[in-house]
Amino acid sequence: MYLEPVFYRKKVDLHIHTVHSDGTSTVKEIIDAAYQRGLAAISITDHDCTDAYPLALELGAAVGLEVIPGVELSSEVDGNDIHVLGFYIDPENPAFSSKLKEMKDARYVRAQKIVSNLNEQGIDLRFDTVLSIAGVGAIGRPHIAAAMLKEELVYSFREAFDKYIGYGLPAYVEKLKMSPKNVFDLIKNAGGVPVLAHPGVTQVDERIPEFVRDGLMGIEVFHTEHPSCAERHYMRLARKHNLAFTGGSDFHNNNHNKSEIGSTSVPYLTVNTLKDKLGIPVQEV
């Protein structure tokens, strides 16, 4: 049973990205920001990547910040891109690590193909520019858009997506496909809790009962793009299906004030619902 005082007193952010995927902040910058904002716990959920750990665990422990190993993986069903968060995963799990390497390698090849498609359309983007922007991170379309902007091939980040690299456009290349069930199994086999990310954005509510049967264990209730009515809706679904409920800012960079670390008010109670799924003693302070 969760204690109400925890719900009100402590806040967390369980959806954060770093330079290891498509974010712009280092692990240390993330830990420092979370500490300065008085958060009790965070999870770094880079796309297809857990390279932020174990440094995040080490730095978090040094300042008394609870750091939950996390990741964000992509799946697809009926042409819809479904993102799944994994919490309390073991980054060293061999099968999990091997699959993440496969996905990271596929991202590299995909980025090469997108740049090649752009070149064929007369957009003279250099792949080296994309690599310089991605740095140590797993390459994604945001890196390509940023590279196009840097080389003055588009007027805005949004234009890159709307005219060239968005879904269905000539330069677009599909990602490595996995079914939601495959992703749920991958996370669970690594000791983690699979959670449906920002359902208010993907809008696949009708699929949630199916996802639950396939192994989904949680749902992201609190998110930057979820208005209060959506939060109430997804909280009802979480209770109906006995799911853990989580939330976070989905922080990527400081240029979007609405998604700063800790900007979404997420109670520590969410961490306890995850722990409950794994039989981990909950914090009752």
Per residue in 132-184, pLDDT tens? Answer: 988 877 888 989 999 999 999 999 989 999 999 998 899 999 888 899 999 99
Output the pLDDT for position 2.
Answer: 43
Spatial CA neighbour of 34 closest among 10, 60, 69: 60
Residue 229: burial class (beta carbons within 10 Å; 0-12, 13-18, 19+): exposed
Output the pLDDT for position 8.
Answer: 52
Kindly list the domain boundaries of the chain, sorted by start residue: 4-98+176-278
Whole-structure pTM value: 0.88
For 249-271, the pLDDT digits (tens) are 999 876 654 578 988 989 999 99
Output the pLDDT for position 9.
Answer: 65
Output the pLDDT for position 234.
Answer: 97
Task: Give the 3-state secondary structure of 194-207.
Answer: EEECCHHHHCCHHH
Spatial CA neighbour of 226 closest among 242, 203, 243: 203
Output the pLDDT for position 197.
Answer: 97
The CATH class given to the 4-98+176-278 domain equals: alpha beta
Q: How far apart, in whole angstroms, are the C-alpha atoms of residue 243 and residue 260? A: 26
Regions of the chain with pLDDT less than 50: 1-7, 257, 285
* Distance from the Cα of residue 9 to its chain's centroid: 25
